[in-house]
Structure 1
């Protein structure tokens, strides 16, 4: 079973500690809760900004990416031409190999 431990609240700068203690007191919470809440708020603010930037990027470039994806899947005509070219190439290779053995 794990024990719950208090967070170490050692500050090398006494003025910083006093400022945080005053802010926590003003909020009516412990210093530990104040610091954890501030850290959480900062982390979620970074996450929110990342998601906003991602949505902006999608809006700006989404159509371009969709167009690129269409190019990845060839049309039936293009696919048929590729298969025909491959078959012709394989036939030429077989003929070439056959000629080499005969020589």
Structure 2
């Protein structure tokens, strides 16, 4: 079965004839096809949603940063803990030497 690589036209069915007429008039005023008008509107809406999401995400990151900066974290080890972890890692690496892989 061979598949065509040509783009297919969008199905522009509207249950409400007034809605179709309004979109057709807006597309005509914009000087574009109905398909281009609808795709452009969908892109603009998606971009607006993305911008809103990113705005709220950045605000959340800022709040989280402030909260973690306010108190020392139990997850962030102090220098003694880091030194002990590095020593343990070196011990494991040295212990693994001499064994066949």
Q: Same fold (TM over 0.5)?
A: yes
Looking at structure 1, the residues matched to 63 and 51 of structure 2 have their Cα atoms a distance apart, in angstroms, of: 18
Q: Deviations over 1:31-79 (max 9, x none)?
A: 00000000011011100000000111122231223567843132244x3
Work out which of the residue numbers 4, 23, 29 in structure 2 matches 1:26: 29
Q: Which has the higher helix share?
A: 1
Distance of aligned partners of 1:69 and 1:54 in 2 relative to their CA distance in 1, 3 Å threshold: farther
TM-score by length of 2: 0.67
Looking at structure 2, the residues matched to 29 and 69 of structure 1 have their Cα atoms a distance apart, in angstroms, of: 58
Aligned length in residues: 81
User: Which residue pairs with 1:59 in the alignment?
Assistant: 62
User: Which residue pairs with 1:42 in the alignment?
Assistant: 45
User: What RMSD in Å do the two structures reach over aligned CA positions?
Assistant: 2.6
Distance of aligned partners of 1:7 and 1:67 in 2 relative to their CA distance in 1, 3 Å threshold: same
5+ residue gaps, structure 1: 84-103
TM-score by length of 1: 0.66
Looking at structure 2, the residues matched to 52 and 21 of structure 1 have their Cα atoms a distance apart, in angstroms, of: 34
